[in-house]
Structure 1
Amino acid sequence: MLVFHSILTAFGLLSFLFSLLAVFLLVEVVAAWISRLRQRGESLDPIVAHGSQPTRLAVIMPAHNEEAVIERTVSKMLEQLNQGDQLIVVADNCTDRTAKFAFRAGAEVIIRDNPEQRGKGYALQYGVDHLASDPPEVMVIVDADCEIVQGTLQSLAQATAARQCPLQAAYIMPVPAQATFRDRISAFAVMLKNVVRLQGLAAIGGPSLLTGTGMAFPWELAQRTQWASGDIVEDMTIGIELAKQGDFPRFYAPMTISAPLPSTKAAATTQRTRWEHGHLRNIRRFVPQLLISLVKRPSWSMLLLVFELVVPPLSLFAASLLMLLFVAGVVGVIGASLVPLMLCTTAFVAFTLAIMGAWRMEGRNLLSLSDLARVPVYILGKLPIYSAAVRKAETQWHRTDRSAGQVGKPAPHLSKQQTLGSVDVID
């Protein structure tokens, strides 16, 4: 009897936790909606709108086998830079013509060749070390396959310099012309995670998680940040580490940056596995540390960051809620307690309202109501990702393939020496 009571108590606490997280998710969505209503007809960035001074910025663009897109990305980026600004492409462990094409398009190119240290974090550290000899005021990180809305890069740099904290732009993944259901649901999930939730979190005074691209840092902070790592979600990890030292990243809604969805189902699975395994690992790794920090030094921003981090990947969240609701129903039927059923029902309703609210704001152009009815099938298809996280979580960094089947070829025309500002061509 004592064992049964203990199990029932533990299940009740778990139900309470999930109901709390579901309500938090709903609060984020409602706060984002209210924030957008308030911003209609108003300047989205009062600091920049009232005339900030031009800011000298440097864009670091880590690139691994991006010859298919690098010229277009560099050309578009250079259009947004002022005289004195820099665009540095870090050609990292490339086996194709990324460096040559980036240099041809007008970027400053540095080559990093170290197969033993693979991952975006190492490339970023290499770029930061290069900038140290002639530092900018603000450093911006943009992935090689991304596109920034014209005219917003300078406002991001000015806002970062004015606020003296890291800023994260709204990062989205638009659907291709012939989008599948998988493409549309993925684009909606990214929009919910990277825009709606972060905008709502900002509206209630919370920090932002870093999402990998469209990130800006005051130079002093960028220089003392430890970038070099093979972490599979280095962006999220760096953001949490910054928050631990009091440098909370903030969401910057006026700027939007976009990247294409993965080109194949296998590439999408690889990307999702990396993101979601990394998220779950960071929950285990950082939440105890953040809670201890919160006890020692109470902070509203830190409390909201803990909640944001603890909310699991949404497919896992939905599957867990359904399972808990079923178990809670069984517990209620046998007469043990109705409390878990009430809590789980609250959680399920709050979660459903949050998803529908986000769909109302951002998803109607991506998903029809009939598509929403197919979401449970999509969730079931992702369960192997979460079971793999229990058996053997992904720990190695892998580049996401967005090249529609194009594979980088060895490039003997590039020298193996590290070059600054140019690349040696052996053609």
Structure 2
Amino acid sequence: MTGLIGGLAIMAGGVVLAHGSAFTTLSALALKRPGPLSPATKPWRLVIIVPAHDEEQGIGRCLDSLKAAARDCAEILVVADNCSDGTADAARACGVTVLERSDRERRGKSFALAYALDTLAAREEKPDAVVFVDADTIVDEELLEVLSSRLDAGADSVQVHYRGDSGEAPLTRLRRLAFLLIHYARPLGAERLGLGTGLKGNGMALTWAVARSGAEGHGITEDAALTLALARRGIRVAYEPRTWVEGYMAAGYDAARTQDDRWERGRLSLMAEALRAFGAAAARGDLPTAWAALDVASLPLSLLVLLSAASVGAGALAGSATVPLLGAASIVSYVAVGLVAARAPLADVAALTSAPRFLAHKLGVYANVLRRPGSGAWQRTSREH
């Protein structure tokens, strides 16, 4: 029995070590600040698509931010999807194009995006590229200028730095730290190796040809599904750290439970598909998209921490703690190097003291996912504004 426990501890520790070592390497490559970007050589016709469900109270802030970035040179297209409030009217009051969609059987972001793309496809003049921004988001004023430069340089798909909002609650600060690791340090390191990154669903741009042939995705994590669809087609997602979008993060654990359940359930449901996409890309020698697919299949940081703790405990009991301890050290290294690379504020780093409560919360989320497996139905995260 002791031998079995020791073997399982070594296996689990090995999984953690593989993740931590790879992520530390990428984070180390992100330590150097990004250099300047060459401007676009031509104007790009961009349409910004904003899917919105019951966002009447906050969409004005998002659209004001987008209008400042658009500078009257890009169309902003809001899809008021299955709304029961005044989202559409609030968006029209901001002077943007508004589509209203009502389909109770096909609810969620991916269907709203598909509806917007179908509308654009019916127009005589198509955009050069489309940009996707969530309705609870504010953006950098240089967003479209920087995206135009990357697209002009030959990128077919681009993901910008998607950061958490500026709230001061401990949970918000922890999420902001996680976003710095997942949405900045790792993808910037991958970009510097010429590897692809994953789309995050917010702050992403696709050329019209790519968007029209595969932007619908599926399930409730359409960003991950689209990443895999692009990987299967050999299309690398470029990462752009010089501009950003800032999205809403739940500040309380009740609201976070819905948000996290959606994220974790969807990503875990795609793991097998991601591994198949990785294998196919690796077999054809396409390392950039193989890495992007493998990134989708990678375990979330919170799950790695929980797995590491379990493997160290089991390894100590069985006298096989070396590999589990190395795995734990690799996770600590990843977090430390990644946060340095991302220049994390000290006030946010101090929130790591509340990590045990967050891990207990995530353990409950994973337990719920195991009790009710499957991708689940889309459910909007409640707002705490």
> Does the alignment reach a TM-score above 0.5?
yes
Check whether the contact 1:325–1:344 (CA below 8 A) recurs between aligned residues. Answer: yes
Residue identity in the other structure for 1:159: R
Check whether the contact 2:129–2:207 (CA below 8 A) recurs between aligned residues. Answer: yes
Deviates more, 1:192-201 or 1:211-220: 192-201
Map of 2:18 onto structure 1 = 20
1:84–1:355 CA distance, 2 compared to 1 (3 A): closer
CA RMSD of aligned residues (A): 2.2
SS in 2 for 1:170: strand
1:113–1:228 CA distance, 2 compared to 1 (3 A): farther
Aligned with residue 247 of structure 1, among 203, 217, 235: 235
**Structure 1 residues 136-166: Cα deviation after superposition (integer angstroms, max 9, x where no partner):** 0011111112111112212213322431411
1:82 is displaced (CA, Å) by 5.2
Q: TM-score, normalised to structure 2's length?
A: 0.92
Q: Separation in 2 of the partners of 1:194 and 1:137?
A: 26
Structure 1: gaps of 5 or more residues? 333-337, 405-427
Map of 2:130 onto structure 1 = 139
Q: Separation in 2 of the partners of 1:261 and 1:83?
A: 29
Aligned with residue 356 of structure 2, among 357, 371, 376: 376
1:291 is displaced (CA, Å) by 4.1
Map of 1:347 onto structure 2 = 327
For the pair 1:256 / 2:223, whether they are aligned, the reply is no
1:95 is displaced (CA, Å) by 0.8
Aligned with residue 357 of structure 1, among 324, 333, 337: 337
Check whether the contact 1:123–1:228 (CA below 8 A) recurs between aligned residues. Answer: no
The count of residues paired between Structure 1 and Structure 2 equals: 381
Deviates more, 1:52-61 or 1:157-166: 157-166
Aligned with residue 401 of structure 1, among 374, 379, 382: 382
Map of 1:186 onto structure 2 = 175
1:228–1:94 CA distance, 2 compared to 1 (3 A): farther
Matches within 5 A, 1:21-170: 21-33=19-31, 35-36=32-33, 39=34, 42-43=35-36, 45-46=37-38, 48=39, 51-81=40-70, 85-132=74-121, 133=123, 134-170=125-161
Q: Identity of counterpart residues, as a percentage?
A: 24
Map of 2:266 onto structure 1 = 278
**Structure 1 residues 226-283: Cα deviation after superposition (integer angstroms, max 9, x where no partner):** 5064x11111111111111111211111111112322543222111111112222221
Q: Separation in 1 of the partners of 2:263 and 2:345?
A: 25
Map of 2:298 onto structure 1 = 311
Check whether the contact 2:158–2:238 (CA below 8 A) recurs between aligned residues. Answer: yes
Q: TM-score, normalised to structure 1's length?
A: 0.83
**Larger of the two Rg values belongs to structure:** 1
Q: Separation in 2 of the partners of 1:173 and 1:7?
A: 39
Deviates more, 1:94-103 or 1:186-195: 186-195
